[in-house]
Structure 1
Amino acid sequence: MNDNSALPDSDLVIRLRNGEEVAFKIIFDRWFKKLYYFSFRYLKSKEEAEEMVQETMLQLWVTREKLDERYPVSSYLYTIVKRLSLNRLKQIASSKSAAEHHFVNLKVTVNTTEDALSLSELKRITAEALALMPEKQQQVYRMSRNEGLSLDEIAFSLGILKNTVKKHLSEALKMIRIHFASRYYLLVVSLVSIINK
């Protein structure tokens, strides 16, 4: 079939279980916007909703061998993104006590050493992306994700406008997405090699 985008979800799930990157990309492209709008209804934040969808897709990849093509992949994806979004709301409510809440939701589903290694890789890629950012972007990202501060709190702390904080955070998340995309192939290769050991 030349038009892979027309493949039914059940076929894509079978191919995804076999570690096919193309199947993952098709599912990603097919569901990203729908999941984004679903998450946005909870979080009311473009950046947060995008992050929840990215984490959902990462969980899809990490747990792909457990998927069953008899069940709609949409149900699986919506369940994950809803849980992540609700957990994120809880984290925002008690953000001061969350030291590394950017990865807390992912850790909920980590059941194996292989999954832990892939999480470690994701953290490493995020750290690499942070190192490439201007200092102010790094600072805003860490205050938001590591310290759990709101945009208003960050703006007050740094003595800058809230819109400036939003811009820095948006640019930081964009940089992480770009860096993740550039490193995605390496991540997939490392995951496949771990699983095949």
Structure 2
Amino acid sequence: MQAADKEGIANKVTALKNGDEAAFAFLYRRYEAKLYTFAYKLTHDATEAEEVVQEVFLKVWEKRASLDSSQNFDGFLFTIAKNLVYNKAKQRAYHFAFQKYVAAYESNICHHTENKLEFEELKALLEQIYTSLPPVRRKVFIMSRLQGLSNTEIATELNTSTSNIENHLNKALNFIRQKLRGHEVVYVILLSFLKL
């Protein structure tokens, strides 16, 4: 991006910060296609990619007062998009795990509330485990097990070797196995889904 172009974007961000709707519309048109392509590459789903774009700009509008025109606006947008995609992937994993959990105990409907409480514990445990992983390893795990990308696709995306991805994934899975010891029910539920 040329200096004049950067300055133009910075001016639009400043205008947006002051609530200028025309500046918002300009930035939306400017970045919509790029963000869609980025989100689609991560999700492989057109509808979800469109939702990510909408949510990114909703967040931009909501946070407009705290925008910094000297900040790299491109980077800001793509960071929001990436976080949205990963959070959606985690929510899908939780939903899947809960469905499996309820199916395993559906014969005992009267314990539905108890199941929900235990699911919240499961969700908290998974969140704690994900957070405990080093950032790159967490990213590799999410891309592999939650987004369904192959090791080669992940290596290409992260600009590294397939063996490096395999190493990260093996370490992540070993770590998760250790953390799930003593949680037999959770382990059984996640066994096939996460391929532990």
Pick the TM interval, shorter chain: 0.3 to 0.5
Higher relative contact order (CA closer than 8 Å, sequence separation 6+): 1
Say which one has the larger Rg: 2
After TM superposition, the score normalised by the length of structure 1 is 0.45
| TM-score, normalization by structure 2 | 0.45
